Structures are given as C-alpha cells and as structure tokens.
Amino acid sequence: MRILLLTALLLFQAIVARAEDERMPSFHPRVEGARPLVAVVGENRMTELVDFLVPYGVLNRAGIAEVMALSTDEGPLNLMPALRVRAQMTTAEFARRYPQGADYLIVPAVHDSGDSGLVQFVATQAAKGAVIVGICDGAKVLAQAGLLDGRQATAHWYSRRQRERDFPAVRWQNGRRYVVDGKRVTSSGVSAALPVSLALVEAIGGRARAEALGSELGIDDWSPRLDGQASSLGFDGYLAAATNTLALWRHETFGVPLQAGIDEIALALRIDAWARSYRTDVLTTGAAPVISRAGLELLPDSAATDLSPLPGRALPAGETLDEALDLLTTRYNQETAKLVAAQLEYPRPDRRAATDSRKTMDYP
C-alpha cells in the first residue's frame, strides 16, 4: 500500500511539475506600476501573415498591455501568402524610444531567418530580459541568435530536418502546440499562433481575462496539448499541390475589401487558408489604406472593384479555419482542404460527412 501511495504521489508531483513547466512566464514589472510592453516584429521582405497579425490582434484586444507592431526597415511589411501592412515603428525607433526593451517580444516566421538586423534585435531584447516568443518558424530566428542552445523548442513540422541539421544544440520537440523553456517560448505551425497568444494573455492578464477573450474568439483550450497532428503532406498532399498548380484554367482570384475597423485576426486566418490552396489568389482591395480594429494600417493590394468576394462569413476567429477548410472542400475537394490544413499545421478530423450535407448550398 505504501508503495502504491508513494507512486501516486510521485506521479502527481510529476504532473504538477509538467504543468508548471508549460506555463508562460508571468509578467513582473521592472518599474513598479509599469504597463506591460509587447512587441511583434516582422521582416519587411516577407513575414508570415497569421504569425504576425494574430498575436498582434489578440494581445491588443485583451487590453492588458501596450502592443507595438515593428518592422526591421522603413516601408510596407510584406506578409505571406498575402496582404501588406505598415508597422507602427522600426526596430531602430523602438530601441530609441524604449531603451529598457520589451517585456515580451513575438517573432513570426520570416523568409530570411538569418537577417542580421532582425537576429541582432532579438538577441538584444533577450539580453535586456524580454520573454522571446517564436511563432512557427520564428523559432529559427531565435536559434540563429543562439537563444535556444541547450533548450527545448518546437517549430513547423516541415522545417524539422533542416532545423535539426542547422541547430543541433537545440532540443527540438514534436507533438506540442507550444513549448516553454524559461523565457524562451516557441510554437508549432501557423495555426498555433492563436492558442499561444491566449496563453500570453493568461500570463500577463490572468486566467479570467484569457477565458473571457477566448470565449469571444471561440477558443476554450489554449494548452500546449496537440490532439492529432497534421505533420506531413504525404503523397496525396504533394499530388494535390501539383495538380492545382498546373491546372491554370481553374485558378481563381478573390478580393477582400478592406474596411476601417476590420478584424485582423479573422482576416488573417481566412486569407492564409485560401491563399495556400495552390489554385487561389487573394487580393485585398480598396481605394486607400485603412486602420484595423487593433489600430494597424492595412494597405490594399488593388483598387479593383470587380473581383469575386472571398467565400466565408464573419465568424469568431476560433471558427474561421474550420469554415475555410469546409468551403475549400466544397468548392474544390477534400485533398485541397487537407493540403491547406497540413501547411497550417491545423489538426482536424475528416469532415467529409459534414461538408457533403452542404454541397447543395450556394457559396460566392
């Protein structure tokens, strides 16, 4: 009996310790009464859309911190696979205005993870005490800065072999939405941006605020647990990508009108999903730049008014990807939807039955 009790106690302690390890570092003001300072930094040439806009939008909407959108250089910030924005300041301006540094720095996936200016900025913010959060392959920027050596970390499944080869000192993990190792936080693929952002809200503003915002966004679980894993394109995925790419006569271009106050979180998720189908181009449209709900300047790609509207409705962010994938299944096929889900590293059950019942509905 004693052995059983001891075993149960040790198991309980291990579970508690694991739970503690998975928590984001909570906010501790360096100056009494100071408001938390969160920065999201992008590289002008190409930064992942959801990785940048979702954390920025979620943290702003939480109302618990001063949140700044940064770019490495002057000029528009090009987001992939679509959309352009204008950051609120450059990294150089941020360094001058906030010499103490950020409390939390969020680093999305970028085209050039070895960009010297970006890597140096991230390393400097870490040295000043910031919690550094790498979203998706933003982890490679952290690794380039030497911030993950000897630590546990994760990133997008697609880059696994390259990461293990280039950064052997990092203890790369799989099967987690995000990994916390001290003041270093890294997440898996694109879709993990939403749960990791809510985990940041909880760390800064408390559980109640995170639950309230999660309810508004349609998210009730932002734990690191990953139920299922879209961790490979497989033969069908590569075949779908090739087939969709080569079938030029079936390609479509959709427009998304930019309106003042637009929800940048849902916008990013919708555009990112459709633009990854290999047969859809998505352009934002408008006569002039607009300011999003969270205060970010969005730049239209085109002034055209005759583009077909991007399918989908205004839904809470937590429902946006499921709807987009259902519509991709209906409009194209199941293989295309699975291809998109794998790129977003978005685990979801086979929803063929759910979408089959809606195939008689008209979608724009």
Give pLDDT tens digits for 55-95.
999 999 999 999 999 999 999 999 998 899 999 999 999 99
- Gap between the Cα atoms of 275 and 283, Å rounded: 9
- Gap between the Cα atoms of 71 and 251, Å rounded: 32
CA distances to 75, 192, 275, 319 from 224, in Å: 35, 9, 27, 19
Fold of 234-356: Rossmann fold (3.40.50)
Over residues 157-182, the pLDDT tens digits come to: 999 999 999 999 999 999 899 999 99
Residue burial 284-315, b: 16+ Cβ < 10 Å; e: rest: bbbeeebebbbebbbbbbeeeeebeebbbeeb
Q: What is the pTM of this model?
A: 0.89
| Numbered ranges of CATH 3.40.50.880 in the chain | 23-217, 234-356
Which position has the token pair 């990791």? 196
Q: Which CATH architecture has domain 23-217?
A: 3-Layer(aba) Sandwich (3.40)
- How open is the CA angle 86-91-96, to the nearest 5 degrees? 120
pLDDT over 90 at 324, yes or no: yes
Averaged over 216-240, what is the pLDDT? 83
Mean pLDDT, the chain, integer: 89
235 or 351, which is more confident?
A: 235
